[in-house]
Amino acid sequence: MDSAALQKYLLQLFERHDVELEPDEDGWLLTDGDFPAVNASWHEGLAGEPGRLDIDVVLSEDRRIEESFAGTGGGEAGCREALEAFTSDAFHVLLAACWYVTDDRRMKIVAWDIGVRTWDVFIGPFAVRGTDIGDSMIPGSALSAIEAALKREALTPHMHWLRLAHRHAADGENRCEALLDNEPWTAGTLALNSVAWPSSPPSYIARCFMMLDVRDY
């Protein structure tokens, strides 16, 4: 799928949620001519490998969210699979945190006290791939562990985002990863490693996208 088709897809996706964005000549979609701005690009996989959809959301001149989603198969089919993953995993969190449109069926908002501030925390589902079992199999202790780890951080008073992932492999090589503001977050990875993840089914991947913003009073 080329950049024009991706731009059209995103325009229509946001329009369905009452957000009107303005396209520019470089493929970006702008909010009233400014930030936040969003862009998508599709990269075909090589030699049968999955393709990759990159979603970039620019919050300001020096803050940029970078998310990627895999799509199996070639051409438009693989791209659409990746777009569906973006829509179900991260879109509604971005929509709520950046454009203030909330769908309580697709994500939730909680309040966490971190440092001297109260933060609104926008939490997407733990999307589970490789099994028909949904996010109900994910232990609640996963988010509790992340909350405890964040409370030990000195967060600057602006928006932050997290990508959490747990890969459970049939060969026993299980791995957790946490990213904070696009960078590896060791404390978050250790927090995820402390969780008793389900051992059945034998192989799956669980991912969650979250955002935090200082609460306005």
List the chain pLDDT tens, one digit each, 217 residues. 888 999 999 999 999 999 999 999 888 999 999 999 999 999 998 877 899 999 999 999 999 999 999 998 778 899 999 999 999 999 999 999 999 999 999 999 999 999 999 999 999 999 888 876 667 778 889 999 999 999 999 999 999 999 999 998 888 788 999 999 999 999 999 999 999 998 877 889 999 999 999 997 5
Q: pTM here?
A: 0.94
Rounded to whole angstroms, the Cα distance separating 109 from 199 reads 29
pLDDT of amino acid 17: 96
Output the pLDDT for position 217. 56
**pLDDT score, position 138:** 86
CA separation for the pair 178, 162 (Å, rounded):
7
Length of the chain: 217
Amino acid in position 176:
C
Q: Give the residue extent of every domain in the chain.
A: 3-99, 109-214
Give the C-alpha separation, 97 to 121, whole Å: 9
